[in-house]
């Protein structure tokens, strides 16, 4: 089994049941104000299998015409994204080892069949800041490789309450979600998996 990239952090079981439920309540409020929508791939317009929304001053979006980017407004409602919950800002301050607060939190929702292809997170201006990810609900098989797409990869199972950080030398590591394991968590009444990724987008002045 290939080893995990240098500076990659995997913190199993960081959030206990109460913390997961509190965070889920925050996310429900965000989704009420900023509904999940189906993003489309640049150029091809192919719909993604993961539904998305955001909170924070900026949100990550993609569509056929304008591709991957960050913007301040929800692409469907045209409204600003809901603000970042205190709970997420605290988590970032606790774990990110970075002196500025996050600007964006991408909320990904996976149904039982959803997956996410191998990719790099490189739409941010500032790669000095890590990307911090929180898993809630059903478990998944997460694949992590290296900075080159052809680098060998390792797989790990992410469970509800686990945290992953792409930091330092692993910041531009390729990663993706191969599959969801339906029925492995009771946190979401109707099943599925939520992944939150907290990011610093702009370079601090
Ligand atoms: C997911 N995660 O876990 C997808 N990106 O559903 C990501 O794409 C990701 O876990 C950047 C940093 C950590 C991640
Ligand atoms: Fe990613």
Domains contained in the chain, number: 1
Q: What is the pLDDT of residue 3?
A: 87
pLDDT recorded at residue 1: 59
Report the distance separating Cα 20 and Cα 31, nearest Å: 16
Q: How far, in Å, is the centroid of ligand 2 from the Cα of 163?
A: 13
Q: Report the nearest atom of ligand 1 relative to the CA of 131.
A: 12
User: What number does the ligand 1 atom closest to the CA of 193 have?
Assistant: 6
106-158 pLDDT, tens per residue? 999 999 999 999 999 999 998 999 999 999 999 999 999 999 999 999 999 99
Q: What is the pLDDT of residues 166-197, one digit of tens each?
A: 999 999 999 999 999 999 999 999 999 999 99
Domain assignment of residue 205, yes or no: no
How many angstroms separate the CA atoms of 66 and 180, rounded? Answer: 29
Domain presence at residue 27: yes
- Of 126, 124, 133, the residue nearest 176 (C-alpha): 133
Residue with tokens 């390792």: 154
Ligand 1 centroid from CA 175, angstroms: 7
204 lies in some domain: no
Q: How confident is the model at residue 205 (pLDDT cuts 50, 70, 90)?
A: confident
- Cα 142 to ligand 1 centre (Å): 8
CATH number of the CATH domain containing 130: 2.60.120.590
Q: What share of the chain in percent tops pLDDT 70? A: 100
Ligand 1 neighbours, Cβ below 6 Å, are 108, 116, 121, 131, 133, 142, 164, 166, 175, 177, 195, 197
Q: Which residues pair with 70 in a beta bridge?
A: 60
Residue 150 located in a structural domain: yes
Ligand 1 atom 14: the closest Cα is on which residue?
A: 133
Query: Is the Cβ–Cβ distance between 182 and 168 less than 8 Å?
Result: no
The residues placing their C-beta within 5 Å of ligand 2, an ion, are: 121
In a domain, 148, yes or no: yes
Distance CA 196, CA 20 (A): 12
| 3-state secondary structure at position 27 | helix
CA of 175 to the centre of ligand 2 (A): 6
Residue where the block lists tokens 């930091």: 167
52 has pLDDT over 80 = yes
Q: Between 18 and 126, name the one with better pLDDT.
A: 18
Residue 153 within any structural domain of the chain: yes
Domain span at residue 35 reads 9-199
């Amino acid at each position: 089994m290939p080893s995990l990239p240098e500076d990659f952090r995997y913190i199993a079981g960081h959030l206990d049941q109460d913390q997961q439920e509190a965070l889920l309540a925050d996310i429900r409020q965000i989704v009420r104000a900023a509904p999940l929508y189906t993003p489309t791939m640049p150029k091809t317009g192919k719909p993604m299998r993961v539904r998305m929304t955001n909170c924070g001053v900026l949100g990550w979006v993609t569509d056929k015409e304008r591709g991957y980017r960050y913007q301040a407004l929800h692409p469907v409602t045209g409204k600003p994204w809901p603000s970042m919950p205190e709970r997420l800002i605290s988590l970032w301050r606790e774990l990110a080892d970075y002196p500025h607060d996050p600007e964006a939190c991408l909320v990904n929702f996976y149904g039982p069949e959803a997956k996410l292809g191998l990719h790099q997170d490189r739409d941010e201006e500032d790669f000095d800041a890590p990307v911090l990810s929180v898993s809630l609900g059903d478990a998944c098989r997460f694949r992590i490789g290296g900075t080159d797409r052809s680098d060998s990869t390792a797989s790990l199972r992410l469970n509800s309450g686990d945290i992953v950080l792409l930091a330092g030398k692993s910041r531009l590591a390729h990663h993706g979600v191969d599959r969801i394991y339906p029925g492995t968590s009771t946190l979401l009444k109707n099943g599925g998996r939520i992944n939150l990724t907290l990011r610093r987008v702009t370079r601090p002045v």
